[in-house]
Structure 1
């Protein structure tokens, strides 16, 4: 065996034995495949192929992307769409502070880490206690999802173009449905349900009186006010949407080994 081969073998062994790497790869595949849905729905909402790709390449935040195209599909203005998207993206800023303290990336890595700080990469990193596993899980999930999400966004966008009129397939309302599907798992406990009900009521009351796209902003203000005065636990609602360690026994999770 050559010296180069001997140097590469330990790295391959470490990856095969790494729980963070395995989980990150599985999350990358599952999440990346969902990019097909975004690509098709974006085209159905009136965006062309390159606009759709720009959203996935530059925005790269699933919930924010669906919110953006959902507002536009409903007839909202660009300002309303950007505001709704930004409000949902605030959680990534909170994740970023956590990742910065956890991994302490330096130089250009800070910018790369900021771009791939999403629910899945944050969950994979924070689920480990070993620093090497934290880094391995974060970068594998972040880069893996970024690559696959964009590949399958392109597939979905091209497929959406080939389908023709979106109303024939019921896709004209699918962007909103997909966004609600992303929101549903976050409604845990009584307080999130109460806030969701209050926001839904505010939206229904606002629809007849304000332009398209504005009701979602009204709902966001209602949610912010309720959250501010409810004295909710600081960690409630801020955890990543994905818990990659669900079902893993406590000894494996604490030790970071299999």
Structure 2
């Protein structure tokens, strides 16, 4: 094993540890927002994309319908489709391996894969990051869910604001470009306009859809 490969594996495990332990927050929020332990853990196992999971829990906690929460989660998770397209040529997966790989396509595994100069290191980064995040995220979700089910009303501890704080933490690093700031501003403006007279979850869906549209059109505008 080369020194570079060992370095990629170590970095991947570090990312997995840092990201995976954050699942404790999701587990606690899930059970304090109305889901039981099994439902919260099932979301981490089957959905496995943090922003979408927090979106679903946020809508449900605000009184929105589960279907609205699911639509919001799908909208936020749609970015993984574009990640998958960019990773297909690098991973070159077939059959069940392709299905497993698709489930591990997240922000962290994609970033580690495309950051490597060598294709072999890129594949190493993808699998080691994806698997370490998956395992630790699900273990942390279980711990958080069990703890969350025992502490009662989340408002007592300020956890009702944690979903918004989590989204802000995910969004902030992506506001370093003009396009990113424009998308965030437009999406937030649409959501704020709708929040007082539409059902819970609808402002997020509408704001997110408009932000995606702006993001798709922005490169064309820049090139004109």
Give TM-score, length-normalised by structure 1.
0.80
Which residue among 193, 210, 215 is the counterpart of 2:181? Answer: 193
Taking the aligned partners of 1:208 and 1:162, their CA distance within structure 2 comes to 33
Structure 1 residues without counterparts, runs of 5 or longer: 1-12, 235-258
Q: 1:214 matched to which residue of 2?
A: 202
Distance 1:14 1:31, change over 3 A: same
Specify the SS of the correspondent of 1:215. Answer: helix
Contact 1:40 1:159 in 2 (8 A): yes
Alpha-carbon separation, structure 2, partners of 1:79 and 1:119: 25
Deviations 1:70-100 (A, max 9, x none): 1111111122211111111111111111221
Alpha carbons of 1:225 and 1:112: their partners in 2 closer, same or farther (altered >3 Å)? closer
Structure 1 residue 224 displacement after superposition: 3.1
CA 189–161 in structure 1, closer or farther in 2 if over 3 Å, else same: same
1:165 maps to 2:139 = no
CA contact (8 A) 2:75 2:209 kept: no
Task: Tell me how far 1:25 sits from its aligned partner.
Answer: 0.8
Unaligned stretches of 5+ residues in structure 2: none
**What is the aligned-residue RMSD (CA, Å)?**
1.9
Matches within 5 A, 1:229-240: 229-231=217-219
Q: State which of 97, 118, 133 in structure 2 corresponds to 1:145.
A: 133
Q: Give the structure with higher Rg (CA).
A: 1
Does residue 63 of the first structure (1) align with residue 51 of the second (2)?
A: yes
Query: Structure 1 residues 228, 200: closer, same or farther in 2, change over 3 A?
Result: same
From 88, 93, 101, the equivalent of 1:113 is: 101
Match of 1:92 among 57, 80, 101: 80
Decide whether the 8 Å contact of 1:68 with 1:85 is kept in 2: yes
TM-score, L = length of structure 2: 0.92
CA distance, structure 1, for counterparts of residue 3 and residue 35 of structure 2 = 40
SS of the residue aligned with 1:231? helix
Q: Does 1:45 align with 2:33?
A: yes
Query: In structure 2, what is the Cα distance between the partners aligned to 1:219 and 1:210?
Result: 12
Q: Which moved more, 1:201-210 or 1:35-44?
A: 201-210
Aligned to 1:22: 10
